[in-house]
Structure 1
Amino acid sequence: MANETHWARCQCGRLGAEARSDTRPQVVACHCLACQRRTGAPLGVIAYYPAGDVTISGEAQRYSRTTDSGAAFTNAFCATCGSTVAIETAKEPPMIGIPVGAFADPGFAPPERSVWEESRHAWVTLPADIPHFLQGRIAPKAQP
């Protein structure tokens, strides 16, 4: 995944993101209730890139919420089809997340950690060899 460029886009193609990086993105599977509602799926999987490595094209609508840790979490989504294409967080260093599904690439890198497993659907399983956390990555680890 290093030294590669990946393109993501919404369902209708009006909003896109180009992610290029010299390093593998941080891919996180999140089972929190907010991600379940954001995706309409039992979990969200987001690839995080340094903010300077992502270019957004098209017009995005934004929705911000406060996370359990108190940080801002902003979804950039298409006003036409509603697909989230980018996520901005208030964490340091500045990162831009792109939902892995927006890449439409079955060969994309798998998650390197799983967070908020306290609200994980019991039938969802992820590889046992990645870190599993009951909440965020500073919370106690969950049993996979």
Structure 2
Amino acid sequence: MADAQCACGALRLTFSEPPQLTALCHCFACQRRTGAPFSANAFYSVECVEIFGAATEFVRTGDSGRKVRMYFCPICGSTVYWKAVASPSWIGVGVGCFADPAFAPPSVSVFEQSKHEWVKLGEAVEHFQGRPTGRE
């Protein structure tokens, strides 16, 4: 399994299990976090993640209205991982932090209410206008 890391390599995560979910998010908070029209995210059980290096925490409110604790490298500023207050057993990691073109494709696409019109996704992903109900 590949490691995830920031741009400078000072903040790194290792994993003992594959992701439980890979998802795209089109919410405005993710657009601002990534500087891209959507984010690609992998979610892991917190028990399988080991974190190396210092991280600075920033707490934000997502489009769902729920708090998210974002962790970024204090040297290069890359946001590498986050923990949603509503889902304490999961840790989210930016798929781009793996720099692995063979990474597992997304199975869901959320907050499509704010998806850019020119972004076209196939039917291989499950589509949600907002946050999927019944999922943490």
For structure 1, the 5+ residue unaligned runs are 140-144
Which residue, 3, 8, 14 being the options, matches 1:7? 3
| Partners of 2:118 and 2:46 in 1: CA distance | 34
After superposition, residues 1-144 of structure 1 pair within 5 angstroms as 5-21=1-17, 23-92=18-87, 94-138=89-133
Moved more, 103-112 or 90-99: 90-99
**Deviation >3 Å, runs of 4+:** none
1:94 Cα deviation from its structure 2 partner: 1.0
Kindly provide the CA deviation profile for residues 35-91 of structure 1, in whole angstroms up to 9, marking residues without a partner as x: 000000000111000011111110000111122433221111001111111111123
Q: 3-state DSSP class of the match of 1:38?
A: helix
SS of aligned partner of 1:88: strand
User: Amino acid of the residue matched to residue 46 of structure 2?
Assistant: A
SS for the counterpart of 2:42 is strand
User: Could you tell me which amino acid in structure 2 is paired with residue 46 of structure 1?
Assistant: N
Question: How far off its partner does 1:138 sit?
Answer: 2.2
Moved more, 64-73 or 42-51: 64-73
Q: How many residues align?
A: 134
Can you give the 5+ residue segments of structure 2 that lack an aligned partner in the other structure? none
> Structure 1 residue 93: deviation in Å?
5.4
Residues 1:132 and 1:10: Cα distance change in structure 2 (over 3 Å): same
- Matched-pair identity in %: 43
SS of 1:91's partner is coil
Shift of the alpha carbon at 1:95? 0.3
Q: CA RMSD in A?
A: 1.6
Query: Is residue 68–residue 83 contact of structure 2 (8 Å, CA) maintained in 1?
Result: yes
How far apart, CA to CA, are the structure 2 residues paired with 1:121 and 1:48? 23
Q: Is the 8 A contact 1:50 1:93 kept in 2?
A: no
